[in-house]
Amino acid sequence: MENLIMGLDKVFEEMVSIRRYIHANPELSFHEVHTPAYIADFHREIGLDVREGVGGRGVVATLRGAKQGKTVALRADFDALAIQELNDLPYKSKVEGVMHACGHDGHTATLLGLAKVLKDMQEELAGNVVFIHQFAEEIAPGGAKPMIEDGCLDGVDVIFGTHLWATTPLGDVWVKNGPIMAAADRFEIEVKGKGGHGAEPHNSIDAILLGSQFITQLQTIVSRRVNPLKQAVISVGHFEAINPFNVIADTAILKGTVRTFDEEIRTFIESEIEYLLKAVCEGAHANYEYKYFRGYPPVVNHPNETAFIAEIASQIQEVQQVKECDPFMVGEDFAYYLQQVPGTFFITGAKDPTWEVAYPHHHARFNFDERAMLIAAKTLGLATIQYLNNQDN
């Protein structure tokens, strides 16, 4: 443990430099070119076996310990978001309309710094470490699934991952057995009415009115149709009808998201939305089109590995608190890894205690306390070493 901690303390400034370089040069999901090349070059320079183009744009680097043993996988994502950065930083995004607003730059820097230290400890490792650098986490179908299909988990016994969380205090590590993040689905609806003059509503079928009625009724699915002990969210984020002020719209477009943890509830809501939409439209002699797109499944942590990470985190000096958190309604394609091998996904607090305001993820002023990367690296690193050294897992 001492060699790991000392090594990570020494490379921390390099981790910060890596994070800031990636932050200044972000790339959107499915358009990552320079970032995976940078990651692959780093791993090659420190002497790891590297596969590029895994599942499309992913990078997998393997560190083989001096002794035989099990294999631990660690995962970090590296894509950015279509957001114009509003932070005034020396390392502000150089790409118009693109920024790292979710901490993936920090995830990548954490894993690269840890890889460098573990490489120096290669003679002490009884097993292998697989560093999975994933593209396109932000946009479904995501990068995890094709990377798995391309063999990134072959021979892996366990997987660990973390998310730097900008609104959680620095020094906190949050864990959750079972579901920690939700299934994230989306829907698109086109309400088809009959356009007309605003002065003659009786000769029209008002698509805006029908869309509004539908949105209001939509909330009754969660409040009155879903068991209150089951968690679910339905949100409409887009309502569009481009018309002059005095024309009744013939068409309205609605787009929204559904978040659930339970597969039965997920399927029920998918069908219930159309049932309600059909009732609203038929009552007004209107038509509709309904499309439902299933996104990532829920992230479901495994009990033994979650308890293991909680115990590991409690040994890290910089960790002030390890707590069991409530589930998050956000989505994450780390879910696919956990469907294949045991593992856990945990939260590393990254809110600078001096900040009056911590902007949330996907905000144009998002940022995080870079010291969280060191906590994440120490937790993941110590978990890796202890897991490999304990072959009775």
Tell me which residue has tokens 């560093």: 131
CB atoms within 10 A of CB 296: 23
Catalytic residues: 79, 137
CB 360 within 8 A of CB 366: yes
Can you tell me the distance from the alpha carbon of 23 to that of 244, in angstroms, rounded to the nearest whole number? Answer: 42
- Residue 229: CB partners within 8 Å, gap ≥ 6? none
Can you tell me the distance from the alpha carbon of 136 to that of 144, in angstroms, rounded to the nearest whole number? Answer: 8
User: Nearest 5°: phi and psi at 344?
Assistant: -155, 155
Looking at residue 221, the DSSP 8-state letter turns out to be I
Q: Is 362 annotated as a binding residue?
A: yes
- Residue 327: CB partners within 8 Å, gap ≥ 6? 176, 179, 180, 181, 182, 231, 261
Pair of tokens at residue 121: 């400890």
Q: Is 238 annotated as a binding residue?
A: no
Q: Is 281 annotated as a binding residue?
A: no
Can you tell me the distance from the alpha carbon of 267 to that of 271, in angstroms, rounded to the nearest whole number? Answer: 7
DSSP H helical segments within the chain, as ranges?
Answer: 2-24, 34-45, 104-120, 144-149, 207-220, 263-283, 303-313, 334-340, 371-389
Q: Is 325 annotated as a binding residue?
A: no
Can you tell me the distance from the alpha carbon of 63 to that of 48, in angstroms, rounded to the nearest whole number? Answer: 6
Q: Is 133 annotated as a binding residue?
A: no
CB 186 within 8 A of CB 295: yes
CB 174 within 8 A of CB 309: no
- Residue 123: CB partners within 8 Å, gap ≥ 6? 66
The binding site for Mn(2+) comprises 102, 104, 138, 163, 362
Binding residues: 102, 104, 138, 163, 362
